Amino acid sequence: MFGGSKSNIPNWNNNKTTESQDVYCEGGPEDTISSIRFSNIPNLETEPQFISCSSWDGTVKVWEINGSYNGLATKAVGGTSMDASILGHCWSPDNAMLFGACADNQVKAWDISSNSVQQVGVHNSCVKDVFFCDKNNVLITTGWDGHLKFWDMKSSTPIFDISLEPLKIWSFSYCYPLLVGGLSDNSIFVFNMDSITQKQSNQPDIVVPSPLKFQTRSVEAFPNAQGYAVTSIEGRCGIKNIDFNNLKDKYNEDFNFKCHRKQNHNNDVYPVHQTSFNLKYMTFVTCGGDGNYFIWDKDKRKRLKSTGGCDAPITACRMSLSGSMIAYTFGYDWAKGSNASGGCPVGLFIHPTSEKEIKSSS
């Protein structure tokens, strides 16, 4: 029997975000989910077969996805522990392995068929993000030690090791050839992958101040590698464009906007935890500590979809490349400290989208 259903959606925390067609993935982690990933697909005409999440409880979980908009269902198919909190993860190109960025300073690989976990790399502090570059067949990792490392997994020594010390890399994203990351001094670094692999460059192509005033929460490369989104802890998102043939600090198409705020007597402002784009229309989703996710059109600079909110933060979100699904997860984000951590629900949901939710009207 499929493991996700509408009837089993938990009814907690004044949840008005989850809609009737959304599917709850049963058997998920017990602690806050750090990242969500859909399995790789060969083209936009193919939908992902699996969805995965990593968690602060040290586990990574996988569900099979079946059905379509009116009958989406999920089935839990596996999971493993990496013995340390997992801050980020990604699939291998053939979907045979999952790689974890772990808080014990290690990069780990889970071979799904053999159900075995092994170390494939190490940092000098927590590993924050991990991406696989199938063009160069290397694993890319970043850490709070300020290092950007590239692994061919034939050796325990990275083939490239770029230091941005003494700064920490808070967030990182990759879409060939764009590598972009947010640093602890509130600057943004950008690399062209070809500069690293062909020219052996160990310096960013450009470093610019974040367009946002407060601490960076996330960066996300556009799926066409022509720019990135950056979010902050202060309810804002910035859109930055990139032209590697004409690199500069600011382009006319760049802009910032406010989001994930509540118009109440306190004018509450929440962190914007993650963003994710679809390749079909280049629209994107944001999620935040206010318990909402929103869908935006960056080109027309407007919001396409609002949700009803929940009294629990949405800590992670992911949109499939075709835009047909949005995955989001509730959990505690520690924005209110340890005293507010008890009793916050944890759950992964998939929302099947309609075209009008992800595409602007003409």
For residue 4, the cross-strand partners are 25
Task: Classify 38 as helix, strand or coil.
Answer: strand
Domains in the chain, start-ordered, CATH in brackets?
A: 4-358 (2.130.10.10)
CA distances from 213 to 232, 234, 310, 353 (A): 8, 8, 27, 33
CA distance 186 to 184: 5
Q: Are strands 147-151 and 138-143 parallel, antiparallel or unpaired?
A: antiparallel
Q: Which two tokens stand for residue 153?
A: 């997994």
* Per-residue model confidence as pLDDT tens for the chain (362 residues): 233 444 455 556 678 888 888 999 999 999 999 999 999 998 888 889 999 999 999 999 999 999 877 789 999 999 999 999 999 999 999 999 999 999 999 999 999 999 999 999 999 999 999 999 999 999 999 999 999 999 999 999 999 999 999 999 999 999 999 999 999 999 999 999 999 998 888 999 999 999 999 999 999 999 999 999 999 999 999 999 999 999 988 899 999 999 999 877 777 999 999 999 999 999 999 999 999 999 999 999 999 999 988 888 999 999 999 999 999 999 999 888 877 767 788 999 999 999 999 999 86
